[in-house]
Chains A and B, each alone.
Chain A
Amino acid sequence: MEANNQQIRERKKDVKKEKITYHAMLIPGMIFLLIFNFTPMFGIIMAFQDFVPARGFFGSEFVGLDHFKYMFSLPDIGKVFRNTIVIALGKIIFGSLLAIVFAILLNEIRLKFLKKSVQTIVYLPHFLSWVVLATVVVNLFNLDGTVNQIMSSIGLDKINFLGSNTWFQPLLIGSDVWKEFGFNSVIYLAAIASVDPGLHEAASMDGANWWKRVWHITLPGMLPIILLLAILSLPSVLDGGFDQVYNLYSPVVYETGDTIDTYVYRVGLIGRDYSFGAAVGLFKSVIGLILILSANNIAKKYTDRKLF
């Protein structure tokens, strides 16, 4: 009896020690989050101030919603949000479509060596920086670039893709689809692999051709993952992709190429209009938060999966 109590007491002491260790393990990370994630969140109050760096967050004058009123009075803002959404949606839609088609086609390749080689090549652009890939895009699409050389050799007029408000958005969307379709196909390939091969065999025996089997077996099998990824991509409609746009745009195409992130960088940081930049950034963050929570709820409701 005595020994038993002793044991229980020791076990309790162990549990307590264990808990203290758990807290201690989390504290270093929490300190980093406090400094670099939560302090800037507190810094958002500058969006409601006329922030002067020398006076700091506590000494600057409060101006209420002035920056937000000013923001909505600017014709630029509507344009910047519209550009961002058009570019982001284009990337999501065409990027997913090509990745799905590519995964279905790649799955048909029986030559192992060829399949592996193609995969090795198409995944590569995903791992390269936009700094590098912008040079590739410029080489191809500038006025003397490869694409214009080909076009003029078959008698078409040259197009200034990088300086045209008609072509700049398709260029951004197209080059992003090019960079990411290969890697995005990874998850769709996994989905295809999980489709029961027995279904294909049975359908073949009933005389269904390849198209019919893709349409009635492969695609329905992929549908849950396609839907899930579509829902989860909802929050990224506000991301035009700073790295890509910054490396490819110029004042001539601000009309169609300027996105929220590049606008905040240029006006807020380079133009030193700190409070206004923070206000635009906050507006984006709040809408982004609403979108991500909605996406998570929709995913939970309809697919039994969630993001967090």
Chain B
Amino acid sequence: MVEGNTLSGKLGKFIIYFIVISLGLVCLLPLWNIVAISFSSGEAVAANLVGLKPINFSTRAYEMIMEDAQFWRSFAISVQRVVLALALNLILIVLMAYPLSKTKQKFKSRNVYMNIIIFAMLFNGGLIPTFIVIRSLNLLDTIWVLVLPGAVPIFSVILIMNFFVGVPKSLEEAAIIDGASPLQILIRVYIPVSLPALATVALFSIVGGWNDFMTGLIYMTQVSNYPIMTYIQSLTIDIAELVRSGANSDALQNIAEVSNRNLNAAKIVVSTIPLLVIYPFLQKYFVTGIVVGSVKE
């Protein structure tokens, strides 16, 4: 700790506080700017007047979202995919992690399965062959293409497997004496003691699913089937246009385009609310997840 009693110590302390607070602001202010833009009038946004305070406070952008059927359709698709994927992921994770947590002596084929899983984690067919396979399964433009290809999150299976290995054997032996079957042991002994670890992998699944725009981009041919992030991506500023018109920046002052910026900012804010709602849990469980799960002794 920096001592605060000498002059150089006080200066050092001041510099440290200054840097840390600055880094915090550097993270916060650009995000806050989007919120301010979403609550400003289109004209103020067009004139690039909005900094950290909304100019000509207006909720019109949010009123427009309320009537935007495609926005809510995409929002509902994302909610649906997250719920389905979460259920499927959790079931498959515990079902796979439990037998894999047994020693080779108890379950001889364990290492064979483990090698298959690790190989699947390390190597993949790549974008194009995966696309061809999924298209030939007729999954394009269905909700299932957002759920099934990621049904087994291998990293999470390994994380939970490692957690199960650490569960005291005495708990399991007591259940065996009571005549419990492996499935009953999993449900009554392992799952209840692993709830924090399961919360971590559940949150991986939720955040990953909500933020994913690439799957929708690749496998949905109709805009009406886009999940929320793919939908927002399809709306937000056309970078190519922005860069080209950069030569004469007056072209940007086109009101129709810029009032879109205002509306898009509001869409971004609304689409981020679900993550903000679960953010306290994210902070709690992701931190333990990354410290426990990132490396293996």
Contact = CB atoms under 8 A, between A and B. Distances in A.
A144 B125 contact: no
B65 interface: no
Contacts of A36: 130, 133-134, 148-151
B37 A139 contact: yes
Nearest to A265: B127
Given A127-B279, A186-B291, A250-B240, A139 B30 contact: yes
Nearest to A21: B182
A81 to B, nearest CB: 15
Interface in A136-192: 136, 138-140, 142-146, 149, 160, 162-163, 178, 181-183, 186-187, 190
Contacts of B107: 19, 22
A186 B287 contact: yes
Contacts of A261: 127
Contacts of A182: 23, 27
The residue among A149, A268, A284 with the most chain B CB atoms within 10 A of its own CB is A268
Contact of B132 (A19, A43, A178, A305): A43
Contacts of B2: 108, 210
Contact of A128 (B23, B51, B137, B275): B275
A62 interface: no
A44 B19 CA distance: 50
Interface residues of A, number: 107
A134 B236 contact: yes
Contacts of B131: 269
Nearest to B232: A131
B158 A39 contact: no
A40 B218 contact: no
B244 interface: yes
B214 A242 contact: yes
Given A135-B268, A274-B132, A29 B96 contact: yes
Contact of B243 (A144, A145, A252): A252
Interface string A188-207: 00100000000010001000
Given A40-B130, A108-B1, A131-B213, A149 B48 contact: yes
Interface of B: 1-3, 9, 12-13, 16-17, 19-21, 23-24, 26-28, 30-31, 33-34, 37, 48, 51, 92, 95-96, 98-100, 102, 107-109, 113, 116-118, 120-137, 148-152, 157-158, 181-183, 186, 207, 210-214, 218, 229-230, 232-233, 236-237, 239-240, 242-244, 246, 249, 252, 264-265, 268, 271-272, 275, 279, 282-283, 286-287, 290-291, 294-297
